[in-house]
Amino acid sequence: MGSFVAAFLVLLSISCWDKGIVEASVAGEKDLSLSTGEKHALDKFKTLMEAVLFDDRLKKEAYLVRWLRASRFDIKKAEKMLLENLRWRDEFQMDTIHDEDWSEFQERFPYEVSFDKEFQPG
């Protein structure tokens, strides 16, 4: 059964390749369906931003493609947006926010998150 699925996926990827769609798999993320031109733009953007991105999770293709999609795959515009976001993260110390003491807020503003049988927030 496993070899059948593997063969099916190979045939599917060949079919998609003929249509100009490239599958970019990212561990732990949904697969990304990108055209050949979009995949090329992603590769260029990834190379361009690699020296600036300080955390491995920021270097993932799933994260980077969001910036490209928001800029309609304009690499310069995506670079500007991402650099602005990194400056904002640094200015407001977003990378250390979980290290702060939030006990006062938890006491003053208690909340509870519950889930139903289908694990939907209640």
Report the pLDDT averaged over residues 68-85: 97
Measure the CA–CA gap between 119 and 122, rounded to whole angstroms: 9
pLDDT band of residue 12 (cuts 50, 70, 90) is very low
Q: Are 74 and 44 in contact (CB under 8 A)?
A: no
Measure the CA–CA gap between 6 and 2, rounded to whole angstroms: 6
Instruction: Report the chain's mean pLDDT, rounded to a whole number.
Output: 79
Per CATH, domain 2-96 is 1.10.8.20: yes
Whether the pLDDT of residue 62 is over 60: the answer is yes
Least confident piece of the model among 4-13, 38-47, 91-100, 110-119: 4-13
pTM assigned to the model: 0.62
For residue 110 the two structure tokens come to: 């208690």
Q: Exposed, middle or buried: residue 77 (CB in 10 Å: 0-12, 13-18, 19+)?
A: middle
Whether the pLDDT of residue 9 is over 50: the answer is no
Residue 35's nearest CA partner among 76, 65, 58, 6 is 65
Measure the CA–CA gap between 17 and 45, rounded to whole angstroms: 22
3-state secondary structure of 34: strand
Q: What number of other Cβ atoms are within 10 A of residue 86's Cβ?
A: 16
Measure the CA–CA gap between 22 and 37, rounded to whole angstroms: 9
Report the pLDDT averaged over residues 15-36: 53
